Amino acid sequence: MLGNLRISSKLLIMVGLSVLGIAMVAFVGLSNLRSNLLEDRKAKLHDVVLLARQAVDLDYQASKKAGLSDAEALEKGKALLRTLRFGKDDYFYAFNAQGLVQAHPSPNVENKNLYNAPDSDGVFFTRQQIELAAQGGGFVAYRFPRAGGTEPLPKISYATEFKPYGWTIGGGIYLDDIDAIFWQQVWSIGTLVGVALLLVVGMSLLLGRSIVGPITGMTAAMRKIAAGETATVIPAQERRDEVGAMAQSVQVFKDNMIEAVRLRGEQDELKKKAETEKHGLLGKMADDFEHSVRGSLDALAGAAVELRTTSNSMSTTAGEASQQATTVAAVAEQASANVQTVAAATEELSSSVSEIGRQVAQSTRIAGQAVEEANRTNLTVQGLSAAAQKIGDVVKLINDIASQTNLLALNATIEAARAGEAGKGFAVVASEVKSLASQTAKATEDISAQVAAMQGATTDAVQAIENIGGTIGAINEITTAIASAVEEQGSATKEIARNVQEAAQGTSMVSGNIGSVTRAAGETGTAAGRVLASAEELNEQAAMLRSKVDGFLVNIRAA
């Protein structure tokens, strides 16, 4: 709450609290003064009353020693008490238990019963003194006129008991002199307090003006400076107190603000220059990146197209190889049937030599055809092997392109980190390019594995076809042997049967080998399909990579 008050208000509050504090101190001091004066009078009154009782007691003891009667001793005691004085005009008195005055300086008062006599305020002062004396002594405050006067004045009495005479001995003092002393002190202290308050208020006003005025001026100056009026003069800088230090601080603030305005202008110029250089650098980076990546992407797309074409060709070749193998199988089955026919003909050799010659000639022709078909199949499979080798070279090229793309993505990430906040988009695209390069490398690894499998299959196919050629050559030799056997009919029957059995086994081997060729051709077709799918995926990845790179270049040039 105090933080919302003005300094002048706070100073007024301090002055008010100071005045209140001084007044409270004066009030407490005066109250203590009156109380101390009263207690001092009561202590003196207590002591003199006890001394009076002691004097009466000593007189009583002396009367007893002198052999006086009680009445004589009593009268002697009264005479003594009448003469005792203290202060200026203060005296002692004595009452009996019924309130009858036994001794008093004024003869008119003696022998009066004051037990039920009240003062002007209704206080039964005699009765209270008798009661307190019986309890060991005490003070009674009341009003009573001075001797020869009629105006009741404040008075206080102390009463104590003297048992030998049955008295209550008392003495009193008037308090009007205490009031005079008190009010005299009130006047003196009030004068001092008034002078002190005037000094405090005056000094506070001067202090407030010396603080509030300069601070108000500095506040106005700071507002002008904040509004851009840097030519404003800061007041109170010549002072050597805290206000002067504050004014000097405001001057420093003003100088710093002028310097800040100058630095802000320089910073704006540097920012514009840096922005221009940044755009130029980003444009050059985009051009360099486009030049380096675009060629790789074009090569990657071309390799994907070539891989797709090669895989289509390989699939077609595998289909043709399968078809040729089916033809060879049919020929082999036909050869087997012919061998069975030859076996049957051997049983009727004697009646069918001419038929045997015809069948042998036909077998020779079919074997020649089989040799030709085997040679063609061998050439086809060798072409398939060469195509697989070419696919492996293409896959290697794709893998090299993916590695180069990955390297370029790493360089782009480094450049994005150097660019800071402006290179965040560049970093995201570079990360995407790197991810695509990794996917491309993985796809090329799959293609390499498929190509290796296809090369293995074509090698098996070449070996099988060579076996078929050998088998067909054996068939040709068998048919030649059959021809010789026909010419040598005398010893040929058993030899023909044996050779026919071997021919049957050979045809079975041919059928089995042709089945292997068919399976190899099927596997080659499947591998070619996988290569084609990988080529399609590679083509899609290349297109996606091209799109990402184009978007990246657009963002870089727009930054």
pLDDT at res. 63: 95
More confident residue, 529 or 126: 126
Of the ranges 64-73, 448-457, 459-468, 511-520, the best mean pLDDT one? 64-73
pLDDT at res. 141: 94
Q: What value does the mean pLDDT take over residues 440-456?
A: 73
More confident residue, 404 or 294: 404
The answer to whether residue 116 scores a pLDDT higher than 90 is: yes
Q: Which two tokens stand for residue 155?
A: 């008075």
Q: Cα Rg for the chain, rounded, in angstroms?
A: 71
The answer to whether residue 83 scores a pLDDT higher than 90 is: yes
- The residues of the chain that CATH labels 1.10.287 are 273-558
Which residues face 171 on adjacent strands?
A: 92, 158
The answer to whether residue 210 scores a pLDDT higher than 70 is: yes
Mean pLDDT of all residues belonging to the chain: 78
pLDDT at res. 336: 64
Q: Is the dihedral of CA 477, 481, 487, 493 positive or negative?
A: negative
DSSP category for residue 146 = P
Q: Which two tokens stand for residue 95?
A: 């009452």
Q: Which two tokens stand for residue 517?
A: 């060729």
Q: Counting beta carbons within 10 angstroms of the beta carbon of residue 307, is it exposed (0 to 12), middle (13 to 18) or buried (19 or more)?
A: buried
The answer to whether residue 353 scores a pLDDT higher than 60 is: no
pLDDT in tens, 491-545: 765 775 677 577 667 657 756 765 775 676 677 668 667 767 876 776 787 688 7
pLDDT in tens, 245-257: 888 888 887 888 8
C-alpha angle 105-110-114 in degrees, rounded to nearest 5: 115
pLDDT at res. 340: 72
CA atoms within 13 A of residue 9's CA, in its CB half-sphere: 6
Instruction: Give yes or no for a contact between 117 and 132, defined as CB atoms under 8 angstroms apart.
Output: no
Q: Counting beta carbons within 10 angstroms of the beta carbon of residue 310, is it exposed (0 to 12), middle (13 to 18) or buried (19 or more)?
A: buried
pLDDT at res. 211: 81
Number of residues in the chain:
559
The answer to whether residue 174 scores a pLDDT higher than 70 is: yes
Instruction: Give yes or no for a contact between 423 and 556, defined as CB atoms under 8 angstroms apart.
Output: no
SS3 of 285-347: the string is HHHHHHHHHHHHHHHHHHHHHHHHHHHHHHHHHHHHHHHHHHHHHHHHHHHHHHHHHHHHHHH
The answer to whether residue 163 scores a pLDDT higher than 80 is: yes
pLDDT at res. 331: 55
pLDDT confidence tier of residue 449, bands split at 50, 70 and 90: confident
Class of domain 2-200: alpha beta
- Taking the whole predicted model, whether its pTM rises above 0.85 is answered as no
pLDDT in tens, 376-429: 866 875 776 676 678 677 668 767 876 887 787 688 788 778 877 776 776 776
Percentage of the chain exceeding pLDDT 90: 21
C-alpha angle 289-293-297 in degrees, rounded to nearest 5: 160
Residue type, 239: R
Which residues face 113 on adjacent strands?
A: 100
| Distance linking the first and last C-alpha atoms of the chain | 53
CA distance 64 to 60: 6
Element (H, E) at 161: strand 152-162
- The residues of the chain that CATH labels 3.30.450.20 are 2-200
pLDDT in tens, 385-395: 676 678 677 66
Q: What value does the mean pLDDT take over residues 204-214?
A: 80
Q: Does domain 273-558 have CATH number 1.10.287?
A: yes
pLDDT in tens, 306-324: 767 866 776 676 677 567 6
